Structure 1
Amino acid sequence: MSRDRSQWGWADGRSVARATRLPRARLSVVAALAASVRAHRRRLPRAGAMVRLAAKCLLAGDPAVGKSALAQMFRSDGAHFQKNYTLTAGIELLVKAVSVPETSDSVEFFIFDSAGKDLFSEMLEKLWEQPNVLCLVYDVTNEQSFNNCNKWLEKLRAQAVGMHIPGVLVGNKTDLADRRVVEQEQAQEWAEKHGLEYCEMSVKEMKNFEAPFHILAKLFHQLYKEKVETFHSLA
Structure 2
Amino acid sequence: MDHDLDLKFLAIGDSGTCLLNQYVDGHFNEKLAPTVGIDIRDKNIDYESYRSNNLFKIHLQLWDTAGQERFRSLTSSFFRDAYGFLLVFDLTNETSFINVRNWITEIGANAYSENVDMILIGNKCDLESSRVISKLRAEEFAKQHEIKYIETSALKNIQVEESVKLLLDLVMDRLEESQDFSKPSRRQLRSTSEPINNLNFDDNKRKNTRVSYCCSY
**1:221, CA displacement in angstroms?**
0.9
The residue correspondences of 1:224-235 to structure 2 (distance < 5 A) are 224-228=175-179
Structure 2 residue identity aligned to 1:72: N
Structure 2 residue identity aligned to 1:198: Y
Percent identical residues: 27
Stretches of 4+ moved more than 6 A in 1? 229-232
Structure 1 residue identity aligned to 2:7: A
- Picking from 87, 90, 94, the partner of 2:41 is 94
- Alignment RMSD: 2.3
Q: Is the 8 A contact 1:63 1:117 kept in 2?
A: no
SS at match of 1:210: helix
SS at match of 1:105: strand
User: Could you tell me the TM-score, scaled by structure 2's length?
Assistant: 0.74
Query: How many Å separate the matches in 1 of 2:65 and 2:181?
Result: 33
Q: Is the 8 A contact 2:41 2:62 kept in 1?
A: yes
Question: Radius of gyration: which is bigger?
Answer: 1
Which structure would you say has the larger RCO, counting Cα contacts within 8 Å and 6 or more residues apart?
2
**Pairing 1:150–2:101 present:** yes
What's 2:120 paired with?
A: 169
User: Could you tell me the TM-score, scaled by structure 1's length?
Assistant: 0.69
The residue correspondences of 1:211-222 to structure 2 (distance < 5 A) are 211-222=162-173
The residue correspondences of 1:1-235 to structure 2 (distance < 5 A) are 52-64=4-16, 66=17, 68=18, 70-76=19-25, 78=26, 80-98=27-45, 99-100=47-48, 102=50, 103=53, 104-160=55-111, 163-228=114-179
